[in-house]
DNA sequence: CTGTTAGCGCGTTCAA
DNA sequence: TTGAACGCGCTAACAG
């Protein structure tokens, strides 16, 4: 048992005193008296209970327990009395793997990632795993750095949530970093595109956008605009492409495509050009952008859906009470996050790709034309 | 260097082969060839570089570096060639403290917590710390369990975000768990009420609500209702109390208080009774509840703000584009999360409480009464 | 079922 | 500056 009253200031070596507690009643009491400032180890517990280290380990941290009832009780009592806390670092070192998973997201404030994270964290919790979260704020370098750190942490699995970019060099380096991690036995899954040779939960961006286009065309719209987000973001690209392809397939004119940032302000800024181009229906490639678009239209006195229809993508729960209610493509985000972590945690021989279909939901923000 | 091709399946002991790499060119090449399936340790790097373990350690992980340039270069080269990854668990064990902080929140999908988390994570990143996140989903037991786990992880600090409940027994047990953690040198901070004897960032719930009440009274409102959330949640209580007290101070009648859940559905369900009671102005104790209230009013054909005014609390960024724009009390959430972690990380002699004032923001959802 | 013992990989004295 | 050696706390053979 090491004294560690102000462990933050103390370093090993400054702590000279050791308290022996060989089972003697008095010494045990002494030990308990010192509890307030002591770090109790498994060895302390074993001694206090009068058993071997191994037995104590089996009782307190072992998986398949095979310890007699009386010894078990003694160990548990001793642990409780001394206030024993497992030292996870020691466990991890001895076992070679941590009970931790890593989660790398772009931005927790974005409800899309929050929902994914929530789903993943529920799975983690159900399996007794802690979650280490890294936020990249869309910085590719940081994403790579997080994978590296999580690798050093020997986490059981890494979940990469969020669209890949078209930056091939960055993707390549990320992949190398992931390979390093996998070489050490790590498992990887991602939500987004199947570009990393890992288990992937792939939202049906193309198909969903196509279905949305068809539905909107079904409302009589002919002149579309797409608030397409950044050119480099594959999710944004796929949704734009799926939308455009579906229109082409229906023999309709190509949509007017406006690029911008992938967030609320991106939608706000881009929608002006969209209406100027004469679109009767604007598709923002995600809900958050759609919200920005709605705000901009409101500011310009353009009514939705009377003057122009607006649709988004994702069906973010927090945004469901918007007025007018947003037409969109629903993605089961929490499920996707959960599923991705499950894939990573239940390894298979080869990487699996699970496609998640989006469901078109038409609400008030889009109306039948004419 | 341990072979670990399928480390997940292998256990120590099954790995019999060891590759010696004593500096011989051929053996080194061999080692590199095996890189794809090997876990490289610091010892491997040291041998490969022809230096001692200590030197390798100083170069790769040491803080105050004092190693000759040539040796340094050799070590770095060897590490790069072999693809060395620090084993954080071993480091943590040897050092006694992990470069990790713990963050316990109620619900990441709630934008309130997402914003707090975001602020805290930025601070963590700026200090090279990883963040372990636990989501309690408002389960007090789970909160306690997370503190215990984070304690076992030997995290540097634990940040508890979210209101305490009035459950004294649970608070007491949480506090005991926190004490255990602190005994081992851990640091604790929380966002919310100063009930845990820890550094606290305390939003001015009472004062903010009072200021809001005054502002709304200034608009001519006299008959108020409060969507007060759960009776057991202290944040909800404080906001309700502050609001009521301010009204009393102004000589106005007490508000009609309706309890419910602290989320969107709680607001949706409670607002009916509020209007039935004849309130001209409804104060929902958080923005998310206010959104629910707006939805319910819309569903009933009650216009906001023409028929009834609605105000919230927090000023959630994601909700700023709501129609009508929500009057609320702005809290700098990201700053609060960041500040709390800073407090925990920069310990002082005694627990500090930092009060964060809320700023009343009147927007469209409240109007001057005829 | 229980105890003994040898590592897990790294940090850090201490001596050279 | 550099190296040798011990210890961090725990797990998992192996022996009994």
Q: What is the pLDDT of residues B190-247, one digit of tens each?
A: 999 998 889 999 999 999 999 999 999 999 999 999 999 999 999 999 999 999 999 9
* First and final C-alpha spacing in chain B: 80
Q: Which of residues 130-189 of A touch strand C (CB under 7 A)?
A: none
Q: In this structure, what are the phi and psi dihedrals at residue A10, rounded to the nearest 5 degrees?
A: -75, 155
- What rounded mean pLDDT belongs to chain B? 89
- Which residues of chain B make contact with A36, given a CB cutoff of 8 A? 183
- Structure confidence at residue A370 (pLDDT): 75
Cis amide linkage into residue B305, ω under 30° from 0: yes
| Spatial distance from the CA of A64 to the C1' of C1 (Å) | 13
CA–CA dist A310, A297 (Å, integer): 10
Mutate to test the interface with B, among A11, A31, A88, A326 (most CBs of B within 10 A): A88
| pLDDT for A71 | 86
Contact A107 B118 (CB under 8 A): yes
Q: Which of B264, B246, B265 is nearest to B316 (CA)?
A: B264
Residues from chain B that touch A304, judged by Cβ atoms under 8 A, are none
Cα dihedral B198, B199, B205, B206 sign: positive
Confirm if B309 and B367 have CB atoms less than 8 A apart.
Answer: yes
Q: Strand A359-361 relative to strand A328-330: parallel, antiparallel, unpaired?
A: antiparallel
Helix (H, G, I), strand (E, B) or coil at B8: coil
Residues of chain A with pLDDT under 70: 1-38, 63-65
Per-residue model confidence (pLDDT) at position A163: 82
Q: Which of A85, A131, A187 sits opposite B133 (nearest CB)?
A: A131
B27: left (phi over 0), alpha (psi -120 to 50) or beta: alpha
Helix (H) or strand (E) holding A209: helix A205-218
Specify the pLDDT at position B17.
34
pLDDT digits (tens, 9 = 90+) for A86-114: 999 999 999 888 999 999 999 999 999 99
Please write down the HEC assignment for all residues of A61-108: CCCCCCCCHHHHHHHHHHHHHHCCCCCHHHHHHHHCCCCEEEEEECCC
Q: Which of residues 262-281 of B touch A (CB under 8 A)?
A: 264
pTM above the 0.85 mark? yes
Give the pLDDT score at A61: 81
Q: At a CB cut-off of 8 Å and minimum separation 6, what does A307 contact?
A: A297
* Residue A296, both tokens: 């901009």
Contact B150, B180 (CB under 8 A): no
Q: A321 is written with which tokens?
A: 């009470």
How does DSSP assign B184-229, residue by residue? Answer: TT-EEEEES-S-SSSEEEEE-HHHHHHHHHHHHHHTT---EEEEEE
Q: At what angle do helices A264-276 and A287-299 cross, to 10 degrees?
A: 60
Cβ of residue B117 closer than 8 Å to a chain A Cβ: yes
Per-residue pLDDT tens over the stretch B13-60: 333 333 333 333 334 444 444 433 468 899 999 999 999 999 999 999
Residue A187 near chain B (CB below 8 Å): yes
Q: What is the pLDDT of residue B156?
A: 95
Question: Do A198 and A192 meet the contact criterion of CB atoms below 8 Å apart?
Answer: no
CA B131 to CA B144: how far, in whole Å?
A: 18
pLDDT at A345: 95
pLDDT of residue B67: 80
Residue A70 is predicted with a pLDDT of 87
Q: Are strands B359-361 and B328-330 parallel, antiparallel or unpaired?
A: antiparallel
Residue B131 has its nearest CB partner, among A35, A132, A298, at A132
- Give the per-residue pLDDT at A33: 43
Per DSSP, B322 falls in state: -
Task: Decide if A325 contacts A363 (C-beta within 8 A).
Answer: yes
């Amino acid at each position: 048992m090491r004294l560690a009253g102000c462990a933050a200031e103390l370093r090993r070596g400054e702590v000279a005193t050791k308290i022996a507690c060989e089972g003697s009643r008095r010494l045990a009491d002494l030990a308990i008296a010192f509890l307030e400032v002591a770090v109790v180890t498994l060895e302390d517990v074993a001694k206090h209970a009068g058993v071997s280290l191994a037995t104590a380990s089996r009782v307190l941290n072992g998986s398949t327990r095979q310890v007699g009832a009386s010894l078990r009780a003694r160990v548990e009592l001793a642990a409780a009395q001394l206030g024993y806390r497992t030292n996870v670092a020691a466990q991890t070192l001895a076992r070679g793997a941590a009970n931790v998973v890593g989660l790398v997201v772009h931005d927790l404030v974005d409800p899309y990632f929050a929902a994914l994270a929530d789903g993943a964290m529920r799975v983690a919790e159900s399996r007794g795993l802690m979650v280490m979260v890294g936020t990249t704020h869309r910085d590719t370098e940081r994403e790579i750095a997080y994978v590296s750190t999580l690798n050093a942490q020997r986490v059981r699995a890494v979940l990469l949530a969020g669209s890949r970019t078209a930056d091939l060099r960055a993707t390549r380096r990320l992949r190398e970093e992931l390979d390093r991690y996998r070489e050490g036995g790590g498992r990887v899954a991602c939500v987004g595109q199947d570009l990393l040779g890992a288990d992937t939960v792939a939202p049906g961006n193309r198909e969903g956008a196509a279905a949305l286009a068809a539905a909107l065309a079904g409302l009589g719209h002919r002149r579309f605009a797409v608030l397409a987000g950044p050119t480099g973001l594959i999710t944004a690209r796929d949704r734009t492409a799926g939308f455009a392809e579906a229109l082409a397939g229906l023999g309709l004119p190509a949509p007017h495509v406006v690029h911008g940032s992938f967030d609320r302000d991106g939608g706000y800024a881009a929608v002006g050009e969209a209406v100027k181009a004469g679109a009767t229906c604007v598709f923002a490639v995600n809900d958050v952008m759609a919200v920005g678009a709605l705000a901009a239209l409101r500011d310009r006195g353009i009514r939705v859906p009377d003057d122009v229809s607006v649709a988004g993508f994702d069906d973010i729960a927090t945004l469901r009470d918007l007025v007018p209610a947003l037409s969109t493509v629903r993605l089961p985000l929490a499920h996707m996050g959960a599923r991705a972590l499950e894939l990573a945690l239940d390894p298979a021989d080869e990487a699996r790709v699970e496609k998640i279909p989006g469901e078109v939901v038409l609400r008030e923000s889009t109306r039948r034309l004419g």
